[in-house]
Amino acid sequence: GAGVSQTPSNKVTEKGKYVELRCDPISGHTALYWYRQSLGQGPEFLIYFQGTGAADDSGLPNDRFFAVRPEGSVSTLKIQRTERGDSAVYLCASSLTGRGRSPLHFGNGTRLTVT
Amino acid sequence: SQQGEEDPQALSIQEGENATMNCSYKTSINNLQWYRQNSGRGLVHLILIRSNEREKHSGRLRVTLDTSKKSSSLLITASRAADTASYFCATEETSGSRLTFGEGTQLTVNP
């Protein structure tokens, strides 16, 4: 595909459940980012991968949140014991090199609703 | 935490008018970027200005950067209804690799 693909586009889950959100970046992009966006707010940084490793995970709000990128391409954001406050749009972005040398290309996001 | 603050939060203009949005930030940066977001969609990169640049143009877009005031502005000339969207500034701080976004300006261009 030509762009960043995120699945599912919508996810409704019950409080306390576990969810996985998937991101397929643009082929060849080494940098991958996860952001969270609440209604009417700007995207909030969660984690940044350079290749397979998390170069900066300081935005993850607590230990219920975890992300992996085992082969340096697809990434999965995992949320354990979901809470209603986790409801938001989770955005994934990739860039060719990272560190601002190339722009971020965003997917359309996964809208997570925790009931 | 949000680094950038956009001003105004909302802007409504008529087609053909110019739209100016401002962004202020707090720390030293490598570059500042502007993104656009249509409702329900991801963000789209518009323009990047490096910390050693003062002004940049791209089509109907003009971006300025004043590092002494830690501020930037985005000017959209001859606006069109299709420019209706939210606009975000984002900064890459010198201390790290993350891109930090502001709260955005919601621009409405009335036909």
Is the pLDDT reported for residue B7 higher than 90? no
Taking only the tens place, the pLDDT of each residue in B47-70 is 999 999 999 999 999 999 999 999
| A-chain residues near B48 (CB < 8 A) | 100, 103
pLDDT (0 to 100) of residue A2: 79
Query: Across chain B, what does the average pLDDT equal?
Result: 92
| A-chain residues near B101 (CB < 8 A) | 35, 42-45
Q: How far apart (Å, rounded) are the C-alpha atoms in residues A43 and A87?
A: 14
pLDDT (0 to 100) of residue A1: 52
User: A35: which residues sit within 8 A by CB, 6+ positions away?
Assistant: A43, A44, A45, A46, A90, A91, A92, A93, B101
pLDDT (0 to 100) of residue B1: 43
Q: How far apart (Å, rounded) are the C-alpha atoms in residues A66 and A47?
A: 9
**Which of B97, B100, B105, B106 would you mutate first to test chain A, the one with the most A CBs within 10 A?**
B97
Q: To the nearest 10°, the Cα dihedral for B28, B31, B32, B37? A: -130
What is the residue type of B59? G
Within an 8 Å CB–CB cutoff, is residue A33 touching chain B?
yes
Q: In degrees, to the nearest 5, what angle opens at C-alpha B34 toward C-alphas B47 and A79?
A: 125
Q: What percent of chain B has pLDDT over 90?
A: 84
- DSSP class of residue B111? -
Residue pointed to by tokens 């910390």 = B51
Taking only the tens place, the pLDDT of each residue in A35-92 is 999 999 999 999 999 999 998 999 999 999 999 999 999 999 999 999 999 999 999 9
Taking only the tens place, the pLDDT of each residue in B66-109 is 999 999 999 999 999 999 999 999 998 887 778 899 999 999 99
In angstroms, the Cα distances linking B4 to A12, A52, B99 are 31, 29, 11
Contact present, B34 and B89 (Cβ < 8 Å): yes
pLDDT category of residue B4 using cuts at 50, 70 and 90: low
Among the partner-chain residues B2, B4, B43, the one whose CB lies closest to the CB of A106 is B43
